[in-house]
Structure 1
Amino acid sequence: LLRIKALHDTVQSQAAELAELNRTLTRRVEAQVAELERLSRLKRFFSPQLAELIVAGGAEDPLKTHRRDVTVVFLDLRGYTAFTETAEPEEVMGVLREYHAEMGTLILAHEGTLERFAGDGMMIFFNDPVPVPNPAERAIRMALAMRDRMEHLAALWRRRGYNLEIGVGIAQGYATIGAIGFEGRWDYGAIGTVTNLAFRLCGEAKPGQILASRRVLTTVEELVEVELVGELALKGFSRPVSTFNLLGLRGA
């Protein structure tokens, strides 16, 4: 009887331990599911890299204002204003959804950080919040891929009667980066001369052109075929800016 009681006590003890292990495992699974759901929600508003840093909760706050050398890409659609003047709002939204979906896929594939949507305009930067090797090369490869992808989109839109093309500007330099906004509505943004330069170069680009500053080319000049556009007088810059048109990858 004593042996039976001892065996019974052992079984009960093991059952209690197993129940506690199950409860612990359940709590861990629930916590992991909650973290994944939080990460999924954050990725809807921030780049995947930034969302993962926020969830990881490291020693450094990724949203804290900081300075970093980044490559900035601005792009928008040529002919967009004329298109919106004659198209129905539903047509405009349909075009933007197609455009954003195609360009967004390429931004993620090249590990860029999408700073903002503004109608047809997009700003992307590289080397923050996660440093990446060869940010200028990534920016150029992404821009060239976007131009190629736009050929398909532009052909599709022309069949519908829409005449839309892409224009791109690329610049490199230091920017101040961090959370911008107020409690309840935060964005992750970059400000500085480099963002203004990319924006102005984009504004100068003709349909299908990718214009880049000299500094962008210094690290990738053996990678791409370019042609000199010249010294452009850009708003907000006291001196003319040496500007180059990216034709494509060497040997492609």
Structure 2
Amino acid sequence: MTVSGKGARLCLLAIAVVLAAGILVAAVPDTPVKITQPGNAEVTTAPAIRISLADSPAPAENANPEPAPEPEQAPKPEKEQPPEPEPEPEPEPEPEPEPEPEPEPEPEPETRSQPEEPTATPEVQTQDSTAETDANEQPEPANENADAGAQSSVPLQKAGNPSAVDDYLARLSRHLSRFYEYPRRARRLRQEGTPVITFEFRRDGSLVGHSLREESGHTLLDKAALAMLKQATPLPPVPDDMAGRTFSYALPVRFNLR
């Protein structure tokens, strides 16, 4: 065994002795122990002497004390921000008044599709209320019919020169066609016909009288022909190269859907 090994063992032994002595000293009471023997007076023993062979190790309190915890800093109070202004409530829009429902139009009794409005015009024919004239017959001169025209109405076809009469008839036809109207109800009912109306008028175009000479077979068409003549008055004035004070004329009015 080496010297260093022996030294170590001695050191350990010394430490063990010191610890054992310390334990014994701690176990001895400080007050004397009274031993009572029968027949003898009380014997007071002196307190034991503490023998300290080595300094007791310093208490653990002498160790480096732990640093005291730093006091927590109180958080700085945050600056109070002014509250945001509440938005003003928008005014509710006033409800618009509900429009009153319009009354529904009454349905027409018939729902047939309406055909295209006819473009026919009053048919101008050489008919008069007194007598039919021959196509080859030449009208009498205006000066010879002046006296007869002063007494009674002159058939329009015999009122003067044929060219002048034709020109006036064309003007009369265009004038009447502006007031021609096919009755809507008659179109729905598919009614057709050609009523003939006779009328007498003065040189200035004012109407003297009128009547229905031939019926069409449909009351709607007959009334439409008479209404057209009333709306068309006054008629175009008669030119100076046609003789007569009043004139008579028979006018067929054709109502045809084709």
TM-score bucket (shorter structure): under 0.3
The structure whose Rg is larger is 2
Q: Which has the higher strand share?
A: 1
Q: TM-score, normalised by structure 2?
A: 0.22
TM-score for both structures, normalised by structure 1: 0.23
